[in-house]
Structure 1
Amino acid sequence: MSQPDLLNVVIITGMSGAGKTVAVQSFEDLGYFCVDNMPPSLLPKFWELLKESGKIKKIALVVDLRARAFYDEIINMLSSLDNSNFATTRILFLDASNEELVSRYKETRRSHPLAMDGRLMDGITKERQLLSEMKSRAQLVIDTSNLSPRQLREEIFAHFQADNNPVFHVEVMSFGFKYGLPIDADIVMDVRFLPNPYYVPAYRDKTGLDKAVYDYVMDRPTTETFYAQFLEMLQLIMPGYEKEGKTSMTIAIGCTGGQHRSVAIADRLAKDLAKDYPVDETHRDMNKRKETVNRS
C-alpha cells in the first residue's frame, strides 16, 4: 500500500473496447482525479503542477498506447516516477477476448481506431501486439470478457477502494412541499400526517432543530411508531443500493413548509444513519418562510 504522503497514480490502459470508460468513471467515484488520454509529452509539466499544488493525492490516467512513440514516453515517465519520492504507480490493464471485442464493436457499430479502413480483426490484432509489453508490466490485469459494466466497477472497487475511505454516502434533507419536490431525491417521505408545530404560537417562528419543537414532534406514539418502521426499512434496503453500485443515496423528508416536522425527522434520521454511513444533513427550506416575512 502506498504511503499517505505520496501521489497515488493509476495508469488505466488496455484493449479498445475492454471497458476503459467504465473504469475511469469508477475511479472518479473513488475520489481519483481522472485525466483521459493526455499526451505523454505533457505529463512532466502536469507532474510539476501537481507538486506545486500538493492538494491532489490520487490520480487515474487513461493512456492510449496505440502509437509506439507514446509507449516509449509513458514507460520513461513511469520509470522516473517509480524512482522518485513523489509518487507510486500502478498499471491497470483491461483485456477481453477477440471474440468479445468483435461483438462489442459490432453492437456499437463503431470502427476500431487501428482498423479505420480495414478489417476489424486486423485492428484488434495490431493493438494486441502493440500492448503486449505494457500488459506484462501491469500490476493488475482484468479480463472483462464475461463482466458486465457493474461487475467491472465492483472489481475495480475491490482492488482500489481504501478501507478507510468509504464510497457510499447518504444525503438526508428536509424540504417543504409548497416549494416543490427535490428532483434529485431517491426516496421521498411525506410527514405531513404528524401534528404540526406551526399552529402552536410559541413554536411558529422556531424550527425542528429547536429542542422544544423537536420534542413536540417526537414525543408522540404515532411519531415513534412511524420513525422506527421507517428507519428499519431504510436499514433493510440501503445495503442493496450500495451493492448495486450506487455511490450516494438522497433521502428527502417533506412537510408543508419544510420548517418544523420534516426538519426534526431529518435531523434524527441523519444522526441514526451516521452510525453506519457517512451522512450529509441539509434543510433546504427551513428558513424560507422567515426570509419571505422579512422581505414583506
Structure 2
Amino acid sequence: MQDTANPIRVVMVTGPSGAGRSSAINALEDLGFEAIDNLPMSLIPRLLDGPPLPRPLALGVDVRNRDFSSESLIELVDRLHRLPNAAVELLYLDCDTDTLVRRYSETRRRHPLSPDDAPLIGIEYELALLEPVRARADVLIETTGLTPHHLRAEISRWFAPRDGRPMALSIQSFSYKRGLPRGVDMVFDVRFLTNPHWVPELREHDGRNPQVAAHIEADPRFADFFTRVHDLIASLLEAYVDEGKASLTIAFGCSGGKHRSVALAEKMARVLADQGWRVSKRHRELERRKLMAASEKQG
C-alpha cells in the first residue's frame, strides 16, 4: 500500500464525450502521470490498495464504463477522498452543446449513448446524466473555445509539478436554500451583508456585475469581514500544503446564491490568484440557472 506520509496523487478525468477527455489524459501522461482509461470503477480502490505506485495516476472515467453512473462515481470519489494514502482530484472537462454537435459532425463519430440516432440526442442525455458529477468537480475546465494546444496548456497549469503552490483552490458560491455544496472544506455565511436583491436596478444582475459588487462592498461591515476571512484562509493554506492536501474548496453562501456569495467568491478568487495560488471559480446557482435556460431553449 502507498505510504500515507507520501500519498499518491490521483486525477480522475471525466466529462461529456467530445469535450477533450482523451486529450487531457494524454497531456497528463506527458506530465509524468500513469494513465489508465476506462478501468472499471469497482477496480480503482483495489488498484490503490495494491503495491506502492511510483507515479501519480490519471484515471479516465466516462459513460462507456460498464458500471458507470453519476451516483457511483460521486460515491467512489468520496470514498477515495477518505483514503490516507491518496490525494484525489476530480477533473471535469465541460463543453457547450453546439460545440459538441459540431465536433461530432466534423469527425463523423457516433455518440456512445445514441449510436443509431443523431449525436444531439446522446449529447443532451449525457449532459443531463453528468450534471451531478459536474457540480462535484474539484477542477472544471471549459473546453468550448480551447484548441488541443490550449487544453494541454490548461492541464499543465493545473497539474504540472511546481514549487511553492502545489495545491489547487476552488472558490465557490451557493444558496443556503439548496443546501451546502458537497466536498467543501470551508464555508462562510455572507447573508448579513446588504442584499442587492432589494435594489430594483441591481436585482437582475449577479455578483459579477461591478455595480452589484460595489454596492456590497459599500456595506460598512464588508471590509473588516473580508480582511479577517482572507487572513484566516491565508494562514491555513501553507499548513494544508505541508499536510500534502492537493486541493481545497472554499464556499461563500447567501440566500439566493446570486449576489453576495458570488461577489465574495469573485473577489477572494481574484486576491488569491494575484498571490500566486491556482484558483478556479464555481457559482453553483448561476450554473444551474444557465443549464435550466438552455434546457428550456432546447425544449
Q: What is residue 43 of structure 1 aligned with on the other side?
A: 44
Structure 1 distance, partners of 2:141, 2:15, is 9
After superposition, the C-alpha distances for 1:197-228 in whole angstroms (9 at most, x for unaligned) are: xxxxxxxxxxxxxxxxxxxxxxxxxxxxxxxx
Structure number, greater radius of gyration: 1
The alignment covers a number of residue pairs equal to 160
Distance 1:102 1:55 in 2: 39
Query: Partners in 1 of 2:5 and 2:56 — Cα distance?
Result: 10
1:162 — aligned with what?
A: 161
Query: So what's the TM-score if we normalise by structure 2?
Result: 0.50
Give the letter for the 1:80 counterpart: R
CA RMSD of aligned residues (A): 2.0
Q: Distance in 2 between matches of 1:82 and 1:44?
A: 11
Q: Which residue of 2 aligns with 1:15?
A: 16
Query: 1:148-227 residue pairs with structure 2 within 5 A?
Result: 148-164=147-163
Cα contact 2:8–2:53 (8 A) shared by 1 = no
> Does 1:58 find its partner at 2:56?
yes
After TM superposition, list the pairs within 5 Å mapping 1:255-294 onto structure 2: none
Amino acid at match of 1:154: A
Look up the SS of the partner of 2:68 in the other structure: helix
Partners of 2:101 and 2:133 in 1: CA distance: 22
What displacement does 1:84 show?
Answer: 1.9
Give the match for residue 84 of structure 1: 83
Q: For residue 39 of structure 1, what is the amino acid of its counterpart?
A: P
Residue 10 of structure 1 contacts residue 59 of structure 1 at CA under 8 Å; is this kept in 2?
Answer: yes
Cα displacement (A) at 1:117: 1.6
Alignment-derived partner of residue 98 in structure 1: 97
Judging changes above 3 Å, is the alpha-carbon distance between structure 1 residues 164 and 103 closer, same or farther for their aligned structure 2 residues?
same
1:66 positional shift: 5.6
**Letter paired with 1:9:** V
Query: Which has the larger displacement, 80-89 or 149-158?
Result: 80-89
**Cα distance in 2, alignment partners of residues 132 and 68 from structure 1:** 19
Moved more, 57-66 or 67-76: 67-76
Query: What is the identity percentage for the equivalent residue pairs of Structure 1 and Structure 2?
Result: 38
Distance 2:74 2:49 in 1: 18
Deviations 1:230-274 (A, max 9, x none): xxxxxxxxxxxxxxxxxxxxxxxxxxxxxxxxxxxxxxxxxxxxx
Q: AA paired with 1:139?
A: D
In structure 2, the residue corresponding to 1:70 is in which secondary structure? coil
Q: 2:134 & 2:13 partners in 1: Cα distance?
A: 11
Aligned equivalents of 1:134 and 1:66: distance in 2?
15
TM-score by length of 1: 0.51
The CA deviation string for residues 34-81 of structure 1, in whole angstroms up to 9 with x for no partner, is 1001111222321222xx2x2324111000136794233333322222
Q: 1:163–1:67: structure 2 CA closer, same or farther, 3 Å change rule?
A: closer
Q: Distance in 2 between matches of 1:68 and 1:36?
A: 13
The answer for the alignment partner of 1:182 in structure 2 is none
Separation in structure 2 between the aligned mates of residue 4 and residue 152 of structure 1, nearest angstrom: 32
Q: Which runs of 5+ in 1 are unaligned?
A: 166-296
CA drift at 1:154:
0.2
Paired residue type of 1:58: P
The CA distance in 2 between the partners of 1:115 and 1:103, in whole Å, is 16
Gaps of 5+ in 2: 165-299
Report what 1:33 is aligned to: 34
